[in-house]
Structures are given as structure tokens and as C-alpha cells.
């Protein structure tokens, strides 16, 4: 959780090699192990008692991701709304550490999403972390960027059924959405989508909240000391308009380090961008490497 209306609670990720992943997550990222059950390791940033990332060995990509609900009533409301719209749901109550209730279903593209109520549901206090660690130490999991073959369909599902707001879309041809950025409350994007034809690889990246650009700089130094080079950045995205730096973790999944993402008023209209090249980088004309277009 964070001090804003940011709502991504956790992601369960597949990794190629559990040993290598754990070494990286604990010693470089500075995540802490919260629990280990049924071959899944639950890791947290440590500023609260919730896990942020669950990992399981086998391949790459998302197993499911979860958005935090504030109250039991909110969760019940969306359970009924999903049901009346014909979306098949499944309760997973208490099946993850710190998670009291979880409602799972699939986005139209097939990606598994969860609405979750968690025990530790207030705010982060960096002076009283639940766990202490070293490494680059993100404050929190921040947002998820999903790849799917129909961005408009998944975005409209979030808007119509779960009441998400659409902060920005990139529409290079009328009716064709290449990217979309959606918010559950006021944080510019909790769930973003990128179009792809590659249905096997549905994760573009998971982002981690950093305090500021200085924190990102220290993190980049720690990554370099540990043998990890950035894939793209650092820079500032025109949409957000957050600071960013991307790299790939040893399991083959892409992570973003992010700071300065905006908070929007509820009534802020959707901004529509038509030129793809205007949407990637403010500070220079650099273009991302070809690898950046691929998911995991």
C-alpha cells in the first residue's frame, strides 16, 4: 500500500529458477521472505506485513495479480456486479498469507485477476518496517503492465464492471488502442495494457515504487554492482508522467523502478494520444531496444 490511492496489492509470478530468483530478490532487490507454502515463496518490500510478490518455479509471466479492496462491502459489491455480468468467479479466501478474502476471475484476454482484502490495510511507515533488509529496497509494488491482443476490450471490462477510470489511451488509428492506462482510485495507473499478438507472453512489466530519482539512482548502482544492466532508461515517460528505469530480473520478467507518478482527480477526462512516438520518452529521442517490445 502507499499514501496515494494506488491499488495493486500483489502479483504471483513464474520464474525460471527459484534459487537464482530468491538470491536476486533477497540480496539485490531487498525483498523479504514472508512465507513459503506449496512451492510458492511470498516476498514483501517489508514496510508492511503484506506480501507483494509471490514466485513459483516454472516458466515466466503472471500466474495472477491482485487489486486491494478497502472494505468487505466493496468486495461484495463487485462480486455481485461480476456475477450479473456473467463473469465466472471463484473465492480464494485465506489461501495466501495475510489475504483474508480473494475473489478471482479472468479478464476477457484470459489473464487471472483477484480482488483481495488484506489484514494490514493502513499505510506504510518507513521508520517502523515490519521487516528489515538491504538491497535496493522498493517502497511497494506499484502497478502492472499487461500485454493482450485487444487492449480496448480488457480496458472496457475494467471500466464497465469494476468502475476503473481510463487515464490515458494511445490510439494510433481510430478505434485501435495500442496502450491504455487505467486507475482504480486516483493513482494515474494501477493496470496498464500494451497490445500484442503474442498470447503466450502476457506480462510487459511489474513496477516498484521508489521514493524519488535519488532512490532510483542508488538502485541502478546496486543493480550494476550485481551485474544487472538497465534495458531502457532512466527517463521520464510523457504519460504518467513518471520517472522510470527498466531491467530484467534473472527469471526473465521485466521490472520498472518508478517515482513521481501523478494523482488525478476523479473527474479527469481521458487523454487520447495518437502518435506512438510521443508517448515513450520526454527527455530525449532515444528509442527502446527491440527486446522491450517482448513480454514474458
Provide the minimum distance between the beta carbon of 145 and Fe ion in the complex, in angstroms, as a whole number: 5
Least distance from C-beta 90 to Fe ion, angstroms?
Answer: 12
Cα dihedral value 169, 205, 191, 117, nearest 10 = 180
Shortest Å distance, C-beta 66 to Fe ion:
4
Full strand arrangement of the beta sheet holding 232-236: 232-236, 243-248, 254-259, 203-209, 140-148, 191-195, 179-183, 165-170, 271-273
Give the residue with the Cβ less far from Fe ion, 124 or 203.
Answer: 203
Angle of the 72-84 helix axis to the 151-162 helix axis, nearest 10: 120
Work out how close the CB of 64 gets to Fe ion at its nearest, in angstroms, rounded to a whole number. Answer: 6
DSSP per position, 202-235: -EEEEEEE-SSHHHHHHHHHHHHHTT---SEEEE
Using the minimum distance from each CB to Fe ion, give the nearer residue, 22 or 258.
Answer: 258
Which residue lies nearer to Fe ion by CB, 66 or 259? 66
Binding residues for Fe ion, rule: CB under 5 A, are 66, 96, 114, 145, 207, 256
Q: Do residues 11 and 89 make contact, with C-beta atoms less than 8 angstroms apart?
A: no
Residue in the shown chain whose Cβ atom is closest to Fe ion: 66
Cα–Cα distance for residue pair 23/111, rounded to 1 Å:
28
Q: Are 101 and 93 in contact (CB under 8 A)?
A: yes
| Smallest distance from Fe ion to CB 7, Å | 14
Q: Give whichever of 228 and 292 is closer to Fe ion, judged by the CB atom.
A: 292
Nearer to Fe ion, 91 or 176 (CB): 91
Amino acid at each position: 500500500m502507499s499514501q496515494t490511492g494506488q491499488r495493486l496489492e500483489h502479483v504471483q509470478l513464474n520464474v525460471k529458477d527459484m534459487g537464482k530468483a530468491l538470491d536476486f530478490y533477497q540480496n539485490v532487490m531487498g525483498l523479504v521472505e514472508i512465507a513459503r507454502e506449496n512451492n510458492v515463496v511470498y516476498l514483501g518490500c517489508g514496510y508492511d506485513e503484506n506480501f507483494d510478490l509471490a514466485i513459483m518455479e516454472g516458466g515466466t509471466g503472471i500466474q495472477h495479480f491482485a487489486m486491494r479492496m478497502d472494505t468487505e462491502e466493496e468486495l461484495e459489491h463487485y462480486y455481485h456486479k461480476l456475477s450479473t455480468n456473467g463473469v465466472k468467479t471463484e473465492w480464494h479466501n485465506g489461501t495466501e498469507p495475510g489475504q483474508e478474502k480473494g475473489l478471482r476471475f479472468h479478464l476477457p484476454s484470459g489473464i487471472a485477476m483477484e480482488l483481495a482484502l488484506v489484514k494490514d490495510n493502513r499505510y506504510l511507515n518507513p521508520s517502523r518496517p515490519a521487516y528489515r533488509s538491504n538491497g535496493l529496497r522498493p517502497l511497494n509494488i506499484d502497478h502492472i503492465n499487461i500485454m493482450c491482443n485487444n487492449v480496448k476490450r480488457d480496458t472496457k471490462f475494467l471500466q464497465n464492471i469494476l468502475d476503473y477510470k481510463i487515464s490515458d489511451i494511445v490510439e494510433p488509428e481510430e478505434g485501435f488502442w495500442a496502450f491504455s492506462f487505467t486507475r482504480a482510485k486516483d493513482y494515474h495507473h494501477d493496470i496498464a495494457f500494451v497490445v500484442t499478438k503474442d498470447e503466450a507472453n502476457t506480462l510487459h512489466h511489474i513496477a516498484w515504487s521508489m521514493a524519488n530519482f535519488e532512490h532510483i539512482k542508488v538502485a541502478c548502482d546496486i543493480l550494476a554492482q550485481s551485474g544487472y544492466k538497465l534495458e531502457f532508461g532512466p527517463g521520464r515517460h510523457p504519460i504518467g508522467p513518471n520517472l522510470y528505469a527498466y531491467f530484467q530480473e534473472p527469471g526473465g520478467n521485466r521490472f520498472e523502478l518508478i517515482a513521481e507518478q501523478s494523482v488525478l482527480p476523479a473527474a479527469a477526462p481521458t487523454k487520447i494520444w495518437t502518435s506512438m512516438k510521443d508517448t515513450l520518452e520526454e527527455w530525449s529521442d532515444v528509442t527502446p531496444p527491440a527486446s522491450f517490445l517482448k513480454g514474458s
